[in-house]
Structure 1
Amino acid sequence: MPCQWLPGLRAQGGGHAAAASSATLALARQTLGDGPTGWAVETAVWMTQQVIEQVPAYGGGRTPFETLRRSVESSVLAALSGLFLDARPSPELVPVEAVEGNADLVHRGVPLDLVLRGVRIGHACLHQRLMDAIDAEPEPVRVTESHRVSELLFSYADVHASRMAEEYIAERNRWQASTEAARYRIVDDIVAGRRIDQKTAQRTLGYELARHHLAFVVVADELDTPSEMLRRFAGEVARAMDGQGVLTVQAGPSDVWAWTGRLSGSAHEAGVEVPVGLRLAVGPVAYGVAGFRRSHVGAREAQGFLGETRLCRYADIRVRSLLASSEERARWFAEEMLGRLAGGDARRAELRETLRVYLAAGRSPQRAGEMLHVSRNTVGYRIKRAEELLGHPLPDDLLELRLALEIVRTSRRAD
């Protein structure tokens, strides 16, 4: 009968309290006896320390250590039972404590590649300890058992890794679906102006609400663009804007809503390079729960003006957005104010932009020329030509004219 040496395993230290469930321990003692069960508990402590030392993401305090130890201990007991009974590897041999520990790693955000690395390290450690025990046996036992134990143990390792990967992916999908749904409900309540419990909302979102916010929307051109690509770019935008953290919510198959915290109410105008295939709409900076909503509404307004552009800030279209309740009336208003200057050709667009900048510069040809990178004489010529198309000199009250210029400018962009 193989594995006659295994019942002789004994713990060498002062002993450790078991971490596995009472049912797991009872079954192990029934199958293996007290000696091998104590050896497994002691070995699992050392293996847990080795895994955390080599993969620090597994650690982080007493609770993560004990959770991992419970998983490792139950796996060692299952492996010893399989070796003793000469059982062939199967997914059912992976104990429930290991699966539960796997779920904890998902919830803590430990990546799958690190989880599987920990599994490999654990099995290598167990193999080392078992080979040490077999080396103390007579030569005929060493020869036969070294080969048998190595073959079975590494088969267990393959089955264990496969089961853990399957369970990890399934749990990650469940976890993301549940947390994403809860986060979306809270965001939807805030955006809709419904009352929320701020502390509960912050805990669920993992995002501080009592501060300044900058909201933005990342939109993909293609519906099958991976959501991770959108979220990754949202993180890049937050960093470029000097934001503190980032909250993202999947709002649809091709767009992500995002918020980042700000130390003050001032906007950060850092350049953001929007990659091909994505578009970015940015809201204004605003404070608190109301500001969270206000900035998002502004970003959504800007999203409606993206058109062929890859980047649109609310600050660029806020005047136009006030008039967007009636697109047709806004267009009529602009046409009435601008006359022949409202045409769609490139030359009249250039004249309108020069006039818009000239008026924003306080009617200073010098400042307008600097802003447009042309001479003041060129500005003067264009303004004269614009007045001819308007059919009259520039009025003293410029409000309606400037509104009309803004409507046409942003309408052309949207078109």
Structure 2
Amino acid sequence: MVTERVAAVGAALNRRLSSLTLEIRSRLASDIEPLRGDERLVQLLGASVEGNVDSALHVLQHGIDLDLVEAPPAATEYARRLAQHGVAVNALARAYRLGHDTFLRHGLQELDRQGGEASLLSAAARHLVALTFGYIDRVTEQVLAVYEDERERWLQDRNTVRAARIRELLDGERVDIAAAEAALGYRLVGSRHLAVVVWATGSVPPDGAMSTFERFARELAECLGCRALPLFLPHDQVTAWAWLQLGREAPDVDTIRSTMCPSHPGISVAVGEPGTDVWGFRRTHLQARQAQAVAVAAGESAPVVTAFREVGPIALMCADLRATRHWVQDTLGRLAFDDDQHARLRETLRVFLATGGSYQSAAAMLALHRNSVYYRVRKAEEELGRSIDADQLDIEIALKACHWLGTSVLTEQA
């Protein structure tokens, strides 16, 4: 009877797998600061949580021997990425403790909800605690071993010293600039820097990603007329950071889009704004990472190149996509529906407002007849439920958020 009752709890929780996973992920990202900030890590955290919750529920439902349990692939990959990013191991261990706490609380609540004799409930609760603790104990041991192995390997990498110097610069620590320039082989003072973030999104195999990224950075530097080699740093297995020393000419983002990226399929690029000296070195990198956050949030709809100059305000919205989605929905109403018809209306209205409310200019940019633009603008106002003159600035920002962030801020029709 005890095992059947615990199996029933597992079955009930399995029906709420998505919401339970989301709650655990949100708690971990909220309560453990080192797990916040990098959108790609947060997404991988979600996959790790889902894998562990699903595995634990199988243990409860089917009485799987804990000695046969193996950590889910997403969980071991997440441990590797944390090691590569220099996140302390205690953050990983705490994530499993907090995840266990949330999971167990839901399990005990479900046990109470099902009801029954006190003696049976007590025995089932003890069994539930023992099983979940045993699962966490075994899986934690496995992922911590993976973390330690990866951390040791990563620290032995040929770029370790360079990475340490760069992180000191990015963290704003007081460093010997001359010594840093000598170690990096890169001029910091008196230079204009352009930071780029490059990551794999398609056919680039992980074991060949770094050579591909470094080759791209060098070709980009040559394309933009840089006299020195770029400063290149692997960030993790699928991401790299680079800084280019610019001349007097401003970089042309369209050049990167049209010339560089077609010759390097399977990668995406985020670009900061040029900055001078050490302060500019930090700032342009921060902007490139914020632009990357926009691209990652947009998913498959993201362009190959995302420039901070185009998405600056939107990048700030990525810090809380849930709140952004609610604001977009409140601002645009039915116009935020995720379908082709409303997408056409949103894009027409976005371009119309961007051209200063000119039907003729918007028609030229959209390759439409002026009357078609007029019709779509009026139709968009109907979906908004008000005139665009009422709060034009909010509408423009919300439309721009939809344009860059795509489905992550749109609404499914009921």
TM-score range, shorter chain: 0.5 to 0.7
CA contact (8 A) 2:196 2:241 kept: yes
2:200 — aligned with what?
220
The correspondence of residues 311-322 of structure 1 with structure 2, limited to 5 A, is: 311-322=305-316
Cross-structure match for 2:77: none
Contact 1:225 1:254 in 2 (8 A): no
Residue in structure 2 matching 1:278, options 267, 279, 284:
267
Does residue 1:287 correspond to 2:266, yes or no? Answer: no
**1:223 is aligned with what amino acid?**
P
Give the distance between the partners of 1:185 and 1:373, measured in 2 at CA.
Answer: 51
Specify which structure has the bigger relative contact order, considering alpha-carbon pairs within 8 angstroms and separated by 6 or more residues: 2
Structure showing the higher helix proportion among its residues: 2
> For residues 3-402 of structure 1, what are the structure 2 equivalents within 5 Å?
180-210=159-189, 211-221=191-201, 222-245=205-228, 246-264=230-248, 266-269=250-253, 270=255, 271=258, 272-274=260-262, 275-306=264-295, 307-308=299-300, 309=302, 310-402=304-396
After superposition, the C-alpha distances for 1:79-117 in whole angstroms (9 at most, x for unaligned) are xxxxxxxxxxxxxxxxxxxxxxxxxxxxxxxxxxxxxxx
SS in 2 for 1:284: coil
Compared CA separation, residues 191 and 265, structure 1 to 2 (3 A)? farther
Secondary structure in 2 matching 1:244: coil
Give the alignment's TM-score, normalised by structure 2.
0.54
Following superposition, the deviation at residue 388 of structure 1 comes to 0.7
Counterpart AA for 2:184? L
Q: Are the structure 2 counterparts of residues 305 and 324 from structure 1 closer, same or farther at C-alpha, using a change threshold of 3 Å?
A: closer
Shift of 1:414: 6.2
Q: Quick check: 1:190–1:293 contact (8 Å CA) kept in 2?
A: yes
CA distances 1:157-196 after superposition (whole Å, capped 9, x unpaired): xxxxxxxxxxxxxxxxxxx967622211111112222222
Q: Residues of 2 paired with 1:414 and 1:313: CA distance? A: 19
Residues 260-303 of structure 1 deviation map (CA, whole Å, 9 limit, x = unaligned): 01124733231332422222111121221111111111111222
RMSD: 2.3
Q: Distance in 2 between matches of 1:200 and 1:384?
A: 62
> SS at 2:294's partner residue?
coil
CA displacement, residues 327-348 of structure 1 (integer Å, 9 cap, x when unaligned): 1111111101100000100121
Give ranges in structure 2 of 5+ residues lacking alignment: 1-154, 410-414
Structure 2: which amino acid aligns with 1:358? F
Q: Distance in 1 between matches of 2:344 and 2:269?
A: 26
1:257 deviation in Å? Answer: 0.7
Cα distance in 1 for partners of 2:342, 2:273 equals 31
Q: What is the Cα deviation at residue 396 of structure 1?
A: 4.9
Q: Secondary structure at the match of 1:225?
A: helix
Q: 1:358 Cα shift? A: 0.9
Does the Cα contact within 8 Å between 1:215 and 1:295 map onto a contact in 2? Answer: yes
8 Å CA contact 1:283–1:299 kept in 2: the answer is yes
Name the residue aligned to 1:121.
none
Worse-superposed segment, 274-283 or 348-357: 274-283
Quote the offset at 1:365 in angstroms: 1.0
Q: TM-score, normalised by structure 1?
A: 0.54
Q: Partner of 1:218: helix, strand, or coil?
A: strand
How far has the Cα of 1:223 moved from its partner? 2.3
CA contact (8 A) 2:293 2:318 kept: no
- Native 8 Å contact 2:294 2:314 kept in 1: no
Change in 2 beyond 3 A, CA 1:403/1:190: same
Distance in 2 (CA, whole Å) between partners of 1:290 and 1:265 is 20
Q: Name the CA distance, whole Å, in 2 between partners of 1:266 and 1:356.
A: 27
Corresponding pairs, count: 241
Report how far residue 315 of structure 1 moved: 2.2
1:119 matched residue in structure 2? none
| Matches of 1:413 and 1:204, distance apart in 2 | 44
Describe the shift of the 1:370–1:320 C-alpha distance in structure 2 as closer, same or farther (beyond 3 A).
same
Residue 403 of structure 1 pairs with residue 386 of structure 2 = no
- The Cα of 1:216 is off from its aligned counterpart by 0.5
> 2 CA distance for matches of 1:350 and 1:264?
40
Matched AA of 2:220: V
For the 8 Å contact 2:232–2:243, the answer to whether it is kept is: yes
For residues 217 and 192 of structure 2, the distance between their equivalents in structure 1, rounded to whole angstroms, comes to 17
Task: Quote the Cα distance in structure 1 between the aligned partners of 2:188 and 2:287.
Answer: 17
Q: Is the 8 A contact 1:207 1:247 kept in 2?
A: yes
Distance 1:351 1:314, change over 3 A: same
Distance 1:293 1:207, change over 3 A: same
Letter in 1 for 2:277: G
- Per-residue CA deviation, residues 237-275 of structure 1 (Å, 9 max, x unaligned), is 222333333110111122211010112473323133242
